[in-house]
Structure 1
């Protein structure tokens, strides 16, 4: 069976059992502060398990894009080395929210596997939770009894808490589970060793393919369990592993999920991949196989993340994506000898392969290709820099072992992988201190954990069963009651309190717009709300203290000054999006935004820099819409299909419900949940303050509106007046500035000529001052030149003779600098290294530096140390 057919049959089977089929949520999560990525099928349904929302149907089935590369679920380091772990994978799932339970879930799982997919029953094993005295949860007798009617008892395994009790996190819904494992070994292997003994023992051909979780408990902050008000079913089946079993393969990578990508890598590199049934392969071939598996796995994760709106970056989720891609690039560089970008060429194969079921990868194919190509080119340059830095480290190291701290610096600062460091050092007959490296790594992780550590107490529910209502589109002030509270303690923010209200005018952060701030006022006190966010369908109001009487009646008041400024920027964002698509082309799509009271930031797809003239045209377009005084036409809760048919813009990577809110100003119409002005005239004026690149094919505009524009022009006017006064109030300011620039250019040329003459004169006199020591012409001297002049003089003197060792120092603006030139002949013959010299002499001027073995420079803070530094230089040639 082809993988596309396997996926379709799963969904058709559960549709026949009364399940509503829903699309995969984006792989990148934007409204769940507890997760960066969708790491399981149930992530998009958390609010239903927590009782904070109602699903469209009590029975749902889907296939969910998942990513496991950080936190509790982290498979990254296993990927490539085995046959069944992945970063990005599909999780087929069926769900029951308070409807059916164990009997139906188990029977349908068995029916699908054995009757529809026709997996031989003798290849399957199942597990049941054995119970936990620690949690006071008994053996799952009900699941055992159901399985007994379907399989022989010797195929039922008792599983412990680690394997057979599933938890969403340290707190939240959880319950016992029943796994199904498949044994795809050969008949000969099965005759020798029972598959039952290999279950949950990391055997590559005896693997879990399906997990049926029976959600019936809630894990509280103190670790205790309480019964949920309703029982739920949460199942997940690994699509790639299922394909392996149904296509009679012994590796996920041998299935048609990965084979087209592998064939493309073979075509590009000229190297061959050997399938899992080939035995006794060489060590070299094994490295090639691992590298190819890493690459075809990682390109899927990176491509889908970018298609869902997450660009590689240096922070957060973007850093994770960059790290995955760089791991793939590095494996290609080291083991496939790929020195040019090539992973981007796999995107077309992926789009053809998965575009039918996941249309976002097809629609965003060009953008994904461009971003990956640029990231590849950038990191390959970094690898080259890293190689040079490693050469310098080797040159500085007298022993055969590089320190762990140095190896970690290469890894942490320059992204240079430790195994590549080890490989290069091995070729030079050297190693690095692995324990020291690991120690530095653990210190960094500890710092990172300390910065992000958060402890969360259980909710204290004051009004049970209340469904919170957002009234902020119509009101900025409302009478409210507190329904639940909890305390959180983080290293970053200290102790905060999260407050949930029965209704709220506060807009929670979302869609790029920051959360509202304001106050809760009762008869006796005022509580400041410092932020508002949404989590699992609850609107959380953050405060530094709780009211003395949490049961009192309150009035919630939004800070309308901040809200008004934010709404101006949000509405201007929509108008600018329309302007960019009108003026630059319909290829322009929003790729990220930030809307706050001070300014707006807008990322969009575009292939080149937006010219100054185009910037002016965008500003004119938006300001024309402002002058037209277009009223806001807001339509709440309309069917998404209807909104799209009427021309509303939907953003890739956003999760929309069946009913949506559409915002319209004239011809601009977008799906949006944010706060907007009632009329474009309220924006007053729109001004772009910057435009630049974020990534390949992605540009970023920052702009301001309203009072910020007034402040901008006031500042510009003040600056212009200051320039005019400085220039003695000329009639033509521009002409005066151009004249100054011309004069400055002429003077610079004159200084350069004088400097060359001075350097030539000094060279002649200083060459005669050099001393011959051990066959080396040595000179150490302080000169009265600029730093760049000193550098040029050192090179001029050094190049005068083939055996020169020159150290020159000078002071510029009170700060010392030192330069060392060593003839290349001396570097080769005597092992001298200018980089080492500068690092040692730099200590005397409280500075540091570096460079090449034949020339290096350094700067410091202690000019008084120059004399001692120059005196010490002779030690290198003695």
Structure 2
């Protein structure tokens, strides 16, 4: 049986022999395409070629691309685990032609590889072609049909509709008809009952699409019309896991050696057995699939978080944790232990798994700890919902609050409710969920118009490393509209001095000046599919003029200083903390910088001082910039340049060197470290398990910082009424404050003693309970002491004290433990309910709890209602 690693190698070797260049997989996390969070198809990294924004170095390439489909148009998440052939993260094997060969070669080579190299039985195969679409004015793809007839009988060539056999990049952009290759792996008995052609594209688990050959020949415009592309391209994608299933004669992707090592490890860790019980099988499949997706995402630099791509990764991991919690009875972190198996299995094809193994394990483990705590909290909250329900149907709105606010999975809510004899109002939950989706969609929806081309220009040139002002022509423009930014315009120039956002550095701002003096402000600069795009609120009056493009000098200089400071900071961290430190993210702006890095402990104050001094020493050394803009990638690494994981590098790269610091970087930098002036670390914190964050300032930001510190110091001297020794004065004030606090505490205790007898005299006997509800002028600590002293005297005490301080109300409730058990009273519940009357809330233990609120006027009603709990 051919192993998966050999299958991958044979695919790539086959197309290499067909004069294709093997290229590495692009990162799974996308950074310069606003339409996508993740690579969801093999073609994503080649979009710039299909769009005509850049000319490819090689017209034929092949690769295996790591993909993720969990959001947007391609969303398989809820199917994963329930069937045997959908995945979140998967590999897509592909071969590509950029204006080179077309349908004939693509079809011929696909057939040759499958039937002659991989020896797939021809009688197992069916193919589909595009049947045409009258509304679109598209004819049936008879060209593909005629080519297929040379290899396969006509009764196995099936027509497919637009949904299945017309591939589109998105609402706009390159598109075209496609031919799918399907494999029927059913038994002979099953095939005799129902012909395979009747099951193609019917979601049958054993009649599956394995390869899609896309013939890109049109461009979809904003008005939905189609126009012929000047060059025709081939884009194919074959599911690696499905191919392994076919070649290894399995009925499920999860039975191939792509997944069996992970499944065996899950069985061992969780003491469960795969293949015996459907619920357990689904859980194991979910975990085996999801650990791959999360591990590859973290290796590419995307940490779990509460927003954007990070939220998607957190959601995938939490789904895996939840399945382990519910169906495998795993209440402690265990998924992180699978990373070792995954790394051993796949590091040869994807070396980032080995180099990033430690950070992957730590992040997953911490996320597991965190979510398991959330599950515990959610279970308690769900118990409260059930206890407070007056019917056996739980409101979907309540369930949505658990889901949205606390991250408690809705399917787990439904399961627990069912076990306890309740049911969930799923319709009202769906309504709430739809409202949220609609809010999100409206907030993020961007309407993009077609490009209006003014000048044919093959590729825009960036000149911003050498000049901040130059004459430019607008080559194309389009209008974009979003709820966040309103109506804006995107401009592309024949050359530009504006740096586009990338590598953590924000985009340049500035302006365009027309010959008549009119100014159009550039509000931001970004890069999209290799185009440098300049954002403006208005279009220039004469679009065909020659403009003076001017970058904001102060902003650029301060940003450059901060960017160079991040390089020196990276070097300083590796020097002080160790070479295990790797950059995990950065943000470089004009006013400050943020730097995320791998490290497994809080950076101490002394270490931060050492790092700060290291950077400032490099600034004092006045190190000049040594730059190489066109060096082969491997040569740069061999010379010691530091590359960042999750970044996509070309064949040639730019290196930035200041002394011993050398990194691959496309950002802007100072000419000499002296231009940074000074470097100050302003904060250090945790981002995730094993990832720390430093925020810092330099240049103008550092100057403003010292000026504000000096001004604040002068104000302190003025307040203290001293001129030269504020420390002595502050120390004296602190000592005096401690003495006064002790004196106040002593007075409070004396006051409490006086009140204690008064309070004891006020106790009532109500239904066998010593009851008291009274407003008392004591602080919280003294009230607690008094409550516990009374509780030691009376074993049937119910006491509620109210107090007022600085315009706020406080409640303190004590209930003897005997009463808690006998009468099922709960101090925490009492203060939560009564706290609403003072416009606040609180909680605590069943025998002692406190609450606070902003409405002291509600205290009389609180004291009046307290007695109802024992009547």
Q: TM-score range by the shorter chain?
A: over 0.9
Distance 1:191 1:865 in 2: 79
Deviation at 1:52, TM superposition (A): 0.3
Cα separation, partners in 2 of 1:73 and 1:788, compared to 1, 3 Å: farther
Does 1:651 pair with 2:644? yes
More displaced, 148-157 or 799-808? 799-808
Structure-to-structure mapping, 1:249-260, within 5 angstroms: 249-260=250-261
CA contact (8 A) 2:336 2:362 kept: yes
Q: Deviations over 1:682-702 (max 9, x none)?
A: 111111111122111111111
Cα separation, partners in 2 of 1:189 and 1:559, compared to 1, 3 Å: same
Does 1:16 pair with 2:17? yes
CA contact (8 A) 1:575 1:625 kept: yes
Structure-to-structure mapping, 1:787-806, within 5 angstroms: 787=780, 789-790=782-783, 793=786, 797=790, 801-806=794-799
Partner SS state of residue 450, structure 2: coil
Does 1:247 pair with 2:240? no
Distance 2:758 2:120 in 1: 90
Does 1:673 pair with 2:672? no
More displaced, 48-57 or 439-448? 439-448
Cα separation, partners in 2 of 1:838 and 1:425, compared to 1, 3 Å: farther
Deviation at 1:490, TM superposition (A): 0.4
CA contact (8 A) 1:98 1:232 kept: yes
Distance 1:829 1:179 in 2: 71
Aligned partner (choices 527, 533, 539) of residue 532 of structure 2: 539
Structure-2 residue corresponding to 1:278: none
Aligned partner (choices 336, 341, 347) of residue 355 of structure 1: 347
Structure-to-structure mapping, 1:362-761, within 5 angstroms: 362-524=354-516, 525-729=518-722, 732-756=725-749, 758-759=751-752, 761=754
Q: Deviations over 1:224-258 (max 9, x none)?
A: 11111111111100001111111111111111101
Deviation at 1:748, TM superposition (A): 3.7
Distance 1:610 1:262 in 2: 38
Deviation at 1:575, TM superposition (A): 1.2
Cα separation, partners in 2 of 1:753 and 1:146, compared to 1, 3 Å: farther
Cα separation, partners in 2 of 1:761 and 1:385, compared to 1, 3 Å: farther
Structure-2 residue corresponding to 1:123: 124
Structure-2-length-normalised TM-score:
0.96
Cα separation, partners in 2 of 1:823 and 1:142, compared to 1, 3 Å: farther
Distance 1:650 1:600 in 2: 19
Does 1:5 pair with 2:6? yes
Cα separation, partners in 2 of 1:757 and 1:374, compared to 1, 3 Å: farther
Deviation at 1:346, TM superposition (A): 0.8
Does 1:304 pair with 2:305? no
CA contact (8 A) 2:403 2:409 kept: yes
Partner SS state of residue 562, structure 1: helix
Deviation at 1:865, TM superposition (A): 2.0
CA contact (8 A) 1:396 1:836 kept: no
More displaced, 49-58 or 373-382? 373-382
Structure-2 residue corresponding to 1:271: 272
Deviation at 1:834, TM superposition (A): 4.4
Deviation at 1:71, TM superposition (A): 1.0
Q: Deviations over 1:417-437 (max 9, x none)?
A: 122222333333333332222
Deviation at 1:150, TM superposition (A): 1.1
Deviation at 1:521, TM superposition (A): 0.6
Cα separation, partners in 2 of 1:486 and 1:794, compared to 1, 3 Å: farther
CA contact (8 A) 1:102 1:214 kept: yes
Cα separation, partners in 2 of 1:7 and 1:515, compared to 1, 3 Å: same
Structure-2 residue corresponding to 1:60: 61
Deviation at 1:850, TM superposition (A): 4.2
CA contact (8 A) 1:395 1:833 kept: no
Distance 2:417 2:864 in 1: 35
CA contact (8 A) 2:498 2:509 kept: yes
CA contact (8 A) 2:457 2:494 kept: no
Partner SS state of residue 467, structure 1: coil
Cα separation, partners in 2 of 1:477 and 1:40, compared to 1, 3 Å: same
CA contact (8 A) 2:843 2:850 kept: yes
Cα separation, partners in 2 of 1:583 and 1:843, compared to 1, 3 Å: closer
Cα separation, partners in 2 of 1:777 and 1:78, compared to 1, 3 Å: farther
Does 1:44 pair with 2:37? no
Cα separation, partners in 2 of 1:544 and 1:120, compared to 1, 3 Å: same
Deviation at 1:39, TM superposition (A): 0.8
Structure-2 residue corresponding to 1:71: 72
Cα separation, partners in 2 of 1:214 and 1:807, compared to 1, 3 Å: same
Distance 2:390 2:825 in 1: 12
Partner SS state of residue 481, structure 1: strand
Cα separation, partners in 2 of 1:112 and 1:754, compared to 1, 3 Å: farther
Distance 1:730 1:479 in 2: 57
Does 1:342 pair with 2:342? no
Distance 2:600 2:43 in 1: 37
Partner SS state of residue 42, structure 1: helix
Deviation at 1:294, TM superposition (A): 0.9
Partner SS state of residue 15, structure 1: helix
Deviation at 1:825, TM superposition (A): 4.8
Structure 1 ranges of 4+ moved more than 6 A = none
Distance 1:571 1:471 in 2: 19
Cα separation, partners in 2 of 1:766 and 1:202, compared to 1, 3 Å: farther
Cα separation, partners in 2 of 1:481 and 1:785, compared to 1, 3 Å: same
Distance 1:684 1:404 in 2: 58
Unaligned runs of 5+ in 1: 275-280
Partner SS state of residue 670, structure 2: coil
Cα separation, partners in 2 of 1:140 and 1:823, compared to 1, 3 Å: farther
Cα separation, partners in 2 of 1:420 and 1:765, compared to 1, 3 Å: farther
Partner SS state of residue 322, structure 1: helix
Deviation at 1:654, TM superposition (A): 0.5
Partner SS state of residue 42, structure 2: coil
Cα separation, partners in 2 of 1:793 and 1:98, compared to 1, 3 Å: farther
Distance 1:760 1:572 in 2: 62
Distance 1:834 1:820 in 2: 6
More displaced, 766-775 or 810-819? 766-775
Cα separation, partners in 2 of 1:836 and 1:443, compared to 1, 3 Å: farther
Structure-1 residue corresponding to 2:159: 158
Q: Deviations over 1:847-871 (max 9, x none)?
A: 3444455554433332212212322
Unaligned runs of 5+ in 2: none
Cα separation, partners in 2 of 1:412 and 1:827, compared to 1, 3 Å: farther
Distance 1:13 1:847 in 2: 70
Structure-2 residue corresponding to 1:30: 31
Distance 1:804 1:399 in 2: 34
**How many equivalent residue pairs?**
869
CA contact (8 A) 2:591 2:700 kept: no
Distance 2:625 2:758 in 1: 80
Partner SS state of residue 381, structure 1: helix
Deviation at 1:799, TM superposition (A): 6.5
Distance 1:413 1:16 in 2: 55
Distance 2:747 2:667 in 1: 63
Structure-1 residue corresponding to 2:811: 818
Deviation at 1:837, TM superposition (A): 3.8
Does 1:326 pair with 2:327? no
Cα separation, partners in 2 of 1:446 and 1:776, compared to 1, 3 Å: farther
Deviation at 1:498, TM superposition (A): 0.5
CA contact (8 A) 1:599 1:705 kept: yes
Distance 1:517 1:377 in 2: 43
Distance 1:802 1:437 in 2: 46
Cα separation, partners in 2 of 1:405 and 1:770, compared to 1, 3 Å: farther
